Amino acid sequence: MAYSISCSGSIALDTTRTPFKTVERVLGGAASFFSLSASHFTKVNICSVVGADFPEGNWEVFEKAGVNTEDVQRITDGKTFQYDCTYSYDLYHRQANKTELNVLGTFEPKLGEASSKSEVLYLATMPPSKQKDVIRQSKGRKLTFLDTIELYMNDLYKPELLEVLETVDGAVFNDAEARMLTGEANLIKCGKKIQEFGPDIVIIKKGEHGSLLFFDGHVVPFPAYPLEDIKDPNGAGDSFAGGFLGYLASIEAVAPSIMQLKIAMAYANVMGSLAVEDFSVDKLVSVGNKEIEKRFEHYCELLHIKH
């Protein structure tokens, strides 16, 4: 058996411009990347919203992956959230060209029965008040993680973000967010300070430079899986979180040990690395369990120093 996951957050139509190729209005958004990544490990329910322009074919993508989309609201007189960005030649620097919230702007997450019973809850980036609302609706949650962005660290949102942080088991930040929230430059200090805000488990992501796990006095650094060919960095962070929580759900880890968390971090790195190897969610849906396991074994082997 395995726990199921409930994930609330955005579904987007992404336009991604890289020096090599541009893709337009392809499936994106935190909830899409997260759920399609985690779906390799367990049953995932997503709670999100789309507009009338949402291409039919995308439903099949979720269905094939076994992701339950019952709680995705269809707003017939609205347009799907759209995100348009350009990557620099090294695919490292992203410039947002356009962010049209559309139906996401007025989204009120509502968890259906299956979602509310899920043992693992992932709150993708949303206004903290909505994350709080989802937590309230979740009846079965035993392990709750949140992600957020710099926007919610300004004076207007920060008090509420801190309130939500107090109630979750874990939080995922990128380096800039961790520094902004804590006012610390050193990332080890950042992680420890965030733990003081509430979550026992803190993850700081540094993109191609890897990630840091904070838990129970441990500070564990992880390098990124080395990749020579990156096509589209969009969604790497949410796919990372999907691998992390997907694995923990699959082993029903309510009170995970440090080693279980390290294994989860390895799967997180694997899923993040797979996501960027193709545009949109393409690699996440085409990859098989065999390839995931192979990359997981390789990652662990790379890190292992037998002395």
Q: Can you tell me the distance from the alpha carbon of 208 to that of 275, in angstroms, rounded to the nearest whole number?
A: 13
User: Closest separation between CB of residue 116 and a copy of itself, Å?
Assistant: 32
266 contacts 138 by C-beta, under 8 angstroms: no
Cα 100–101–104 angle (5° rounding)?
Answer: 155
Among 91, 101, 114, 149, the residue binding a copy of itself under the rule CB under 8 A is 91
Helix (H) or strand (E) holding 248: helix 236-250
Looking only at the bridges linking them, the beta strands covering 22-28 and 218-222 are unpaired
236 contacts 275 by C-beta, under 8 angstroms: yes
**266 near a copy of itself, rule: CB under 8 A:** yes
**224 near a copy of itself, rule: CB under 8 A:** yes
**193 near a copy of itself, rule: CB under 8 A:** no
What are the phi and psi torsion angles at 155 (to 5°)? Answer: -55, -35
Among 34, 41, 145, 222, the residue binding a copy of itself under the rule CB under 8 A is 222
Which of 13, 224 has the CB closer to a copy of itself?
A: 224
Q: Can you tell me the distance from the alpha carbon of 284 to that of 191, in angstroms, rounded to the nearest whole number?
A: 29
Distances (CA, A) of 138 to 47, 86, 103, 114, 289: 12, 37, 23, 10, 29
Of 27-35, 72-80, 148-156, 216-224, the window that binds a copy of itself (rule: CB under 8 A) is 216-224
**249 near a copy of itself, rule: CB under 8 A:** no
**47 near a copy of itself, rule: CB under 8 A:** no
Secondary structure (DSSP) of 35-91: HHHHTTTS-EEEEEEEETTS-THHHHHHHHTT-EEEEEEEETTS--EEEEEEE-TTS
Which of 156, 227 has the CB closer to a copy of itself?
A: 227
Which of 73, 260 has the CB closer to a copy of itself?
A: 260
Q: Can you tell me the distance from the alpha carbon of 237 to that of 30, in angstroms, rounded to the nearest whole number?
A: 8
Looking only at the bridges linking them, the beta strands covering 143-147 and 120-123 are parallel
User: Closest separation between CB of residue 286 and a copy of itself, Å?
Assistant: 22
**DSSP-assigned beta bridge partners for residue 28:** 12
User: Closest separation between CB of residue 217 and a copy of itself, Å?
Assistant: 12
First to last CA, the chain: 37
Which of 62, 214 has the CB closer to a copy of itself?
A: 214
**189 near a copy of itself, rule: CB under 8 A:** yes
**290 near a copy of itself, rule: CB under 8 A:** no
The three-class DSSP label of residue 96 is: strand
Q: What is the DSSP letter of 253?
A: -
Size of the site for a copy of itself (CB under 8 A): 36
**151 near a copy of itself, rule: CB under 8 A:** no
**212 near a copy of itself, rule: CB under 8 A:** yes
Could you say which residues in the range 156-185 bind a copy of itself, by CB under 8 A?
Answer: 185
User: Closest separation between CB of residue 11 and a copy of itself, Å?
Assistant: 30
Among 124, 165, 245, 263, the residue binding a copy of itself under the rule CB under 8 A is 263
Q: Can you tell me the distance from the alpha carbon of 23 to that of 19, in angstroms, rounded to the nearest whole number?
A: 11
User: Closest separation between CB of residue 302 and a copy of itself, Å?
Assistant: 5
Which of 64, 218 has the CB closer to a copy of itself?
A: 218
Which of 2, 220 has the CB closer to a copy of itself?
A: 220
Kindly list the residues in this chain that would bind a copy of itself in the complex (CB under 8 A).
89-92, 185-186, 188-189, 192, 206, 209-210, 212, 219-230, 259, 262-263, 266, 300, 302-307
